[in-house]
């Protein structure tokens, strides 16, 4: 007979782990199933390790430019093995903390294995060797299985070594020439990091600009900074084949359509998107619906089409960020445990691209607003207007805000500039509160800070041409 639980959580990412604890603390007999490392993508191969690399890369960059601030540094070099060791230590602390938290929670049973549905409210748990570890039944099941990197099926892909965002983090020696396929967030963060570490970096972009979902001025601003760092961009190209280098072991030759010369690389990274971990969950046995990409379909309260089953985090297609996953947890917990009525349909999307300086965004882009046809106001200001940016010698980028001409509600904002990932929260909080832009415009901000430019920015709102 299956073991019966009140609730089962599959996956221990940024939504799954805290939700499992809340469920157990509510008095529910709870099981959590983890087939890999505790903490999910963010802790193990996402935010935590990559941002530790971003920090190391920034330290190298600041040291190289210290002379501009009157500080003399004789020589700069990056020990990738030491950078990796620091990253591994940070990951280990976070991963261990999550596991200890779960195992130490009353009413919680932890299973190390792979979960698969056998019915709408039943599951099996198997080990990596395929051995059956347990059969479970539950009144409530929560799927938090995340996503994994996509590798395009290029001709010759089986014959060469290549990397994804996960495996590149295991290098202990710097690449001589890192070629990155992709032009979005992951590609650009790794490009700048490894260029600042000292590698030659080439980025292959299928379209005509990086970050093609962003406004053109935002993508152009980011590109200029990375090019100044020495990152090489190739636009309008798409690899069609790869093969081992004829003379250098473990290196790669990348081929394109005719008339485009082949490119040689010591290391090849694919940053070409991610796909959901749903193909081996037995969703068909439960009758759980997915879209054409394999994402689990959910409503605003993150319920699937099967009663008693929810999907949270990247796997539901409602946002591919740690903060959206955590917000998913908060929505489910509020509605299920606290008598709330929260919905993912009403949250305002916000995120940052952690290049240096970061690009942060909330709400609608300028292109979104123009497509909507609504009457709107717009303002932009360069970061060179910010005293703190000038004092630190980091004036790249700009701020931009859009507001509805009639309601005076802020529609969206973008900041590409120093500490923009923090300053963007001035917009996020006012938009979440539903307050009109004068609330922020007439606020007194501390000097000298980055966010003190925001009221001045709002002073310049004019009708969007």
Choice among 234, 267, 445, 447 that is catalytic: 447
SS3 per residue for 375-431: CEEEEEEEHHHCHHHHHCCCCCCEEEEEEECCCCEEEEEEEECCCHHHHCHHHHHHH
CA separation for the pair 310, 316 (Å, rounded): 9
CA separation for the pair 417, 98 (Å, rounded): 33
CA separation for the pair 421, 399 (Å, rounded): 12
Phi/psi for 384 (5° steps) reads -65, -10
Q: Is 447 a catalytic residue?
A: yes
Contact 192, 231 (CB under 8 A): yes
Crossing angle, helix 47-64 and helix 80-103, to 10 degrees?
Answer: 150
Q: How far is CA 358 from CA 152, 192, 418, in A?
A: 28, 12, 7
Q: What are 296's two structure tokens?
A: 């689990």
CA separation for the pair 82, 86 (Å, rounded): 6
Contact 399, 383 (CB under 8 A): yes
- Sign of torsion, CA 74 77 78 81? negative
- The H or E element that residue 97 is part of is helix 80-103
CA separation for the pair 50, 461 (Å, rounded): 37
CA separation for the pair 204, 182 (Å, rounded): 6
- Per the document, the length of the chain is 465
Contact 276, 283 (CB under 8 A): no
Contact 359, 353 (CB under 8 A): yes
* Residues annotated catalytic, as ranges: 447
């Amino acid at each position: 007979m299956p073991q019966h639980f009140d609730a089962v959580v599959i996956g221990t990412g940024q939504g799954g782990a805290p939700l499992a604890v809340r469920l157990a603390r509510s008095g529910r007999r709870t099981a959590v199933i983890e087939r890999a490392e505790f903490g999910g993508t963010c802790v193990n191969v996402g935010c935590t390790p990559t941002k530790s690399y971003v920090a190391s890369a920034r330290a190298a960059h600041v040291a190289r430019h210290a002379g501009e601030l009157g500080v003399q540094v004789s020589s700069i070099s990056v020990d990738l093995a030491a950078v990796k060791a620091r990253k591994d230590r940070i990951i280990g602390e976070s991963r261990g903390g999550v596991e200890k938290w779960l195992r130490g929670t009353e009413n919680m049973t932890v299973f190390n294995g792979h979960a698969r549905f056998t019915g709408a409210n039943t599951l099996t748990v198997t080990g990596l060797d395929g051995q059956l570890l347990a059969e479970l039944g539950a009144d409530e099941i929560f799927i938090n299985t995340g996503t994994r990197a996509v590798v395009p099926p290029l001709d010759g892909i089986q014959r060469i070594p290549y990397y994804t965002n996960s495996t590149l983090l295991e290098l202990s020696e710097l690449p001589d020439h890192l070629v990155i396929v992709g032009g979005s967030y992951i590609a650009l963060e790794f490009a700048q990091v490894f260029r600042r570490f000292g590698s030659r970096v080439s980025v292959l972009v299928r379209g005509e600009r990086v970050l093609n979902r962003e406004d053109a001025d935002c993508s152009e601003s980011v590109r200029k900074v990375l090019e100044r760092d020495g990152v090489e961009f190739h636009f309008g190209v798409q690899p069609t084949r790869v093969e081992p280098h004829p003379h250098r072991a473990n290196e790669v030759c990348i081929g394109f359509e005719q008339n485009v010369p082949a490119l040689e690389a010591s290391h090849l990274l694919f940053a070409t998107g991610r796909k959901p971990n749903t193909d081996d969950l037995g969703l068909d046995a439960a009758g759980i619906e997915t879209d054409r990409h394999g994402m689990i379909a959910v409503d605003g309260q993150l319920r699937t089409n099967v009663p008693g089953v929810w999907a949270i985090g990247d796997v539901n297609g409602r946002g591919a960020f740690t903060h959206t996953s955590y917000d998913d947890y908060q929505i489910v917990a509020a509605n299920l445990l606290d008598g709330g009525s929260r919905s993912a349909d009403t949250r305002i999307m916000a995120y940052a691209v952690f290049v240096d300086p970061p690009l942060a965004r909330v709400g609608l882009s300028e292109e979104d607003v123009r497509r909507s046809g609504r009457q709107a106001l717009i303002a932009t200001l360069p970061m060179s207007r910010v005293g703190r940016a000038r004092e630190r010698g980091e004036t790249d980028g700009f701020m931009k805000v859009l507001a509805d001409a009639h309601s005076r509600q802020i529609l969206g904002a973008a900041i590409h500039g120093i500490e923009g990932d923090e300053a963007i929260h001035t917009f996020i909080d006012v938009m979440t509160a539903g307050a009109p832009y004068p609330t922020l415009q007439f606020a007194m901000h501390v000097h000298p800070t980055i966010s003190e430019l925001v009221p001045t920015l709002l002073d310049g709102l004019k009708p969007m041409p």
